[in-house]
Structure 1
Amino acid sequence: MRTIVSIITVLGLIVAFWAAILTTDAQSARQPGPVTRAPSPRAEPVVTDADRRARLEARIVNWTRTDRKPVLQDGARHSAVPVRTRAERQQPVSRTDGNGSGGSARPEPALPFEPQPSGTIAPPPTTSSFERTSGARGYRAPRLDLVTMPRVPADPIECLTQAIYYEARNESEEGQAAVAEVVINRSRAGNYPRDICKVVYQRNSRTCQFTFTCDGSIGRGAINRTAWSRAERIAREVHAGRSGLLPRTSVNYHANYVRPTWGQRLERVRQIGAHIFYGAAKPGHATPGSLERRPEPAPSTGLQFVRIEALDRAFAQATSGEAQTPIPQSTTPAGP
């Protein structure tokens, strides 16, 4: 009997213990507190086009700073090939043979690079400060000095270089060569001076053919050495005949921001950069800028003058010192 009572007592204690535990859990669940959630799967970040563009720009900036060429990569399938700088490529590279022994060291060829050759013709010295005359509305071109003749070079290459530099140094090499061709075409045309330097420095009482020779451009400012060397190289090439941009009849051109009246009298050939080039004159017109020709004698009107013998006798007596005799007042009328 006591055994049964003991078992019942133990079971009651166990039931009471579990009831107490369940009550405590229920009360703690009713109270607010931090909620712990199960970790969710990690979401992949969304990459937009702007992000890709920003990454590409950052890579390009990095390439330019480190002097390295870009290497295209596609995941882990391609490995980046190290690209050496120009200084490293010019260093001697040790070559080895098949057995692993060191071979003769020889420099690796550098990248092809053609620097601008230095000119052999000295540019004109700077004789005056670079001054610009300004008017009420801004810049005003300097006046043309048609009285003071500048120093005319004797070398045709120097004259061509000056024409290219002062007329078209901001143009492309094709535009600079076209200006030199115009000068050479004038020297071969027949109605211009035959000397290249005389063509460049040709002027008359009204104007000069190339403005830089009479507006003070020569010696006004410092010369750009790179542009001067390029102009000399192009002058030598055109003078040697290694250019054919314009026909031989092209002896005139002007900038595209001016409208000269003589442009309507010539055949337009082509435009290169800021210069418009012309060819032969249209029928009934003359080429502007050519040498002034002597006026032709007036056509005969049909009148013929007869020699007066009395005047001849008077002239002979005056020169010989003989006594002058009265000369009759008679003349022979002019007629056919």
Structure 2
Amino acid sequence: MKWLPVAALAGSAQAALRFGCSTLTVQRLDPVVEPGNAPSAHVHQIVGGNAFNATVDPSVDVGQRATCTTCLYSEDFSNYWTAVLYFRARNGSYKRVPQYPNAPSLHDGQKAGMTIYYTQESFSSNGNQKITAFKPGFRMTVGSPATNSREGAEKFHGLRYTCLQTVLTRGSETFELPKEPCPAGIMAIHHFPACWDGKNLDSPDHQSHMYNTGKGGFQVAASCPASHPVRMPQVAYETLWNTTEFNSRELWPEDGSQPFVWSTGDAKGYSTHADYLFGWKGDSLQRAMDSNCFFQDCGTDRAKGVLKVQTPAEKNACTIKTTVNEDIDGCECFQLRVDNRICC
């Protein structure tokens, strides 16, 4: 028998996680960018653990604080969130676009929510290097609600849209919100950077402690630079927005322009962004990254399972109280404050 060095063994794992999380809450809270503000500047849709609040102290281990999660893996108390998509009617009113789960075979019984990925260098390889799990207190963002141009959007690799022909459509990604009605809705895609500076759990802009060597999508990532040498899991979100009830051209603006608007007020799609707050319990994420499990095989009900799973009913039962009481489903104005009225 030929013995391999420990370092080689540590880098040989090829794990990838793909799982669904039901909606935890939809409200104006953002403990990463606007800690303590209730309400925050715009509406977010949030999934994950029930320790989520207007303020989540960085010194608190969310994996120990939370008691339930809306995600498939019962050891994942992390929080994942994005802005919310609205439809703007011809009369100037707004209606919140509903979300729907990904392919039923992978998200059976899920209540709205998102699909979450933790991959390595690519779907099938970690590039023969150790993948280091995030630490308690870690948080990051990708994209910016202030981005208002195509040039600005292009700086964030992996923030794209897909006009869904079916729930399984992949490819044909765009920087802007689709300009035509989409038969199965719109998928918003958020890929986070995966190279860490090895020191800071956060940074003033919530991004500079990370470095993006991704090329967009799930392509093989380049090596991490010396300034950010630690390869961490590649986190990505897919959110499916069910725009189908708004597909009639009679509902769209008379000039034919696309009618969907982010809760930031952005009708182009350039301001798409996402937040991540780590909360896996104990060494569960590292255990998964050190394994060779792939997607559904990572659950304990599978032969290669290394993580504990819960039923759809259990994850759908996890909720938090609404602390910002306002109408988030539809409104007549859209700016944060119009004529001294607070709107969605």
Q: Normalising by the residue count of structure 2, what TM-score does the alignment of the two structures yield?
A: 0.17
Q: Which has the higher strand share?
A: 2
Q: Normalising by the residue count of structure 1, what TM-score does the alignment of the two structures yield?
A: 0.17
